[in-house]
Amino acid sequence: MQIAFISDVHDNLTSLTKVLNFLKKSSINFLVCCGDVGNLETISYLVKNFSGQIYLAFGNVEQDFINQDELNFSNLTSYPDFGKIELDGKKIAFCHFPHTARQLAEGSSTDFIFYGHTHQPKEEMLGKIKLVNPGNVAGLFFKPTFALYDTKTNDLELTLIDLI
């Protein structure tokens, strides 16, 4: 199974649409958002244009401007700080802030922790846990990227949005 990870969309619908079209074409049905998707209209656009399951950890943008009760969508599960899911036997945690990711790693049996906020794509090992920042969809400060993870092959790939 393939899972897509995005962060820091910041209401950039052009780049978000490219990602969503790629996911549809690739038959990817799970999307994890590591915060700062943007305003309620952008989140609505996301859930209406992605038919699979979406998991969203609030970033500072959502924390400042969206009440979690407003997010009443059947294919969206949202978390105020961080989320933990298990898909295909892989334990995955996700959040927005790097310091939260490091806190989640302490004493955890999680396989991966994904986070955002810095906009910079990055992979690192913290003990046996892989910490991953998928970069940013908006293309702010760094080129626009997202991550794909294949649970069967254990392959993780950072993908440049301009090339899809």
Q: What is the mean pLDDT of residues 132-152?
A: 97
Confidence check: pLDDT of 68 > 90: no
State pTM to two decimals. Answer: 0.96
pLDDT in tens, 90-112: 999 999 999 999 999 998 889 99
Q: Name the domain count of the chain.
A: 1
pLDDT, averaged across the chain: 95
For 104, residues 6+ apart whose C-beta sits below 8 A from its C-beta are 82, 93, 95, 110, 113
Q: What is the CATH number of the domain that holds 137?
A: 3.60.21.10
Domain that includes residue 18, residue range: 2-163
Sheet holding 155-160, edge to edge: 76-79, 53-57, 30-33, 2-6, 145-150, 155-160
What is the pLDDT, as a whole number, of residue 108? 83
What is the pLDDT, as a whole number, of residue 18? 98
